[in-house]
Amino acid sequence: MIVTGAEPRAASLTDEPYWTTFAEIADWARENTVSSVFSCLAVHGAVLHLDGVTRHKLPTKCFGVFAQTKTRHHPLMQDVPRTFRIPHARWNEVQEEDLSDCGYSVLTWSAEAGVDCFVKQQKNSLFVHFQGHPEYETQSLLGEYRRDMGRFLRGENEVCPTIPRGYLNKGAEEILIAFRQKALSDRQPELFADFPADQLTRDLSNVWHLPAQHIYRNWLQYMVSQPAGRSKPLGSREAAPSAAGIPAHRHGRKLVAARSARLARSPNPATKRRLGYYE
């Protein structure tokens, strides 16, 4: 299972609208998965729920592509360079001392971005955590910067976003610095139309793709190497069988049951496969 981050909506994680569901998923995962991956905000939620590790607010956003170093040998880090770079985009962090006190093993650390990858065996599942975003595509950080700049120009945010560090080449960074200075001196929504996206994407390079590929390949190999077991469907204790004999969960139960029953009656095997029905 892979759980990615989301934009924070509340100052406290436990006040997020999805918190109860997220906690249920984390509890289910440690009993019913071989391994699960959490990234960014999902990391902070997982360690808070399972071990009471609280995140700390950063003075400025950790935003850019940062060098990090392997701190110990681990199967997940096989064939990964000793030092490599990973994107980060977050306002909070969990700290190494707090994680170590709760039995987590830190695998990579950055002088600029702090802890990145760390692991812990949670009952039946190896939980793998990334404070960064090894899954990001080449333009993901630029898209996030553009979004935040738009919010600033429209007056939705009072803080003008900082330039992502270690991400752009010198020429592109100068272009973005010039646009940022203009935004600060002449703040108006119309300026957003002049955002130099085409110029900035021209020479972007993805330096984290290869090490991220190695890490996820190692993760998949780890799961294949583990003994197979039977897992319970998420929410199975709360599910009631529908008329078609298909569990109808409390979230969208009528839709799930009706869709599954309709697929079961379909005479076309290709349609069943395309829409996700398996006998």
Question: Do 27 and 10 fall within a single domain?
Answer: yes
Asked whether residue 251 is domain-assigned, the answer is yes
Asked whether residue 261 is domain-assigned, the answer is yes
Asked whether residue 31 is domain-assigned, the answer is yes
Question: Do 99 and 38 fall within a single domain?
Answer: yes
Question: Do 96 and 186 fall within a single domain?
Answer: no
**CATH number of 123's domain:** 3.40.50.880
Tens of pLDDT along 241-252?
A: 333 333 333 333
Question: Do 23 and 122 fall within a single domain?
Answer: yes
Distance, CA of 136 to CA of 92 (rounded, Å) = 18
Question: Do 101 and 216 fall within a single domain?
Answer: yes
Is residue 119 within 8 A of residue 128, CB to CB? The reply is yes
The Cβ of residue 215 has, within 10 Å, a number of other Cβ atoms equal to 25
Question: Do 170 and 126 fall within a single domain?
Answer: no
Asked whether residue 197 is domain-assigned, the answer is yes
* Catalytic residue status for 40: yes
Looking at residue 74, its pLDDT comes to 96
Question: From start to end of the chain, where are the E strands?
Answer: 2-3, 35-39, 56-70, 83-93, 105-106, 108-110, 114-115, 117-122, 125-130, 240-241, 247-248
Question: Do 150 and 176 fall within a single domain?
Answer: yes
Question: Do 15 and 105 fall within a single domain?
Answer: yes
Burial class (CB in 10 A: 0-12, 13-18, 19+), 165: middle
Tell me the average pLDDT across 70-75. Answer: 96
Is residue 140 within 8 A of residue 97, CB to CB? The reply is no
What secondary structure, in 3-state letters, does 58-114 show?
A: EEEEEEEEEEEEECCCCHHHCCCCCEEEEEEEEEEECCHHHHHHCCCEECEEECCCE
Domain limits at 170?
140-201
Is residue 22 within 8 A of residue 45, CB to CB? The reply is yes
- 3-state percent breakdown (helix, strand, coil) of the chain, nearest 5: 40, 20, 40
Question: Do 145 and 20 fall within a single domain?
Answer: no
User: How far apart, in Å, are the Cα atoms of 279 and each of 122, 245, 249, 263?
Assistant: 32, 13, 19, 10
Structural domains in the chain (count): 3
Asked whether residue 184 is domain-assigned, the answer is yes
Asked whether residue 11 is domain-assigned, the answer is yes
Is residue 128 within 8 A of residue 38, CB to CB? The reply is yes
Asked whether residue 109 is domain-assigned, the answer is yes
pTM: 0.80
Q: Tell me the torsion sign for CA atoms 93, 77, 217, 22.
A: negative
Tell me the average pLDDT across 15-37. Answer: 96
Question: Do 177 and 270 fall within a single domain?
Answer: no
Distance, CA of 105 to CA of 117 (rounded, Å) = 9
Asked whether residue 84 is domain-assigned, the answer is no
Residue recorded with tokens 């956003």: 61
Tens of pLDDT along 221-278?
A: 999 999 876 566 666 554 433 333 333 333 333 333 333 334 344 445 443 343 333 3
Question: Do 146 and 170 fall within a single domain?
Answer: yes
Tens of pLDDT along 209-222?
A: 999 999 999 999 99
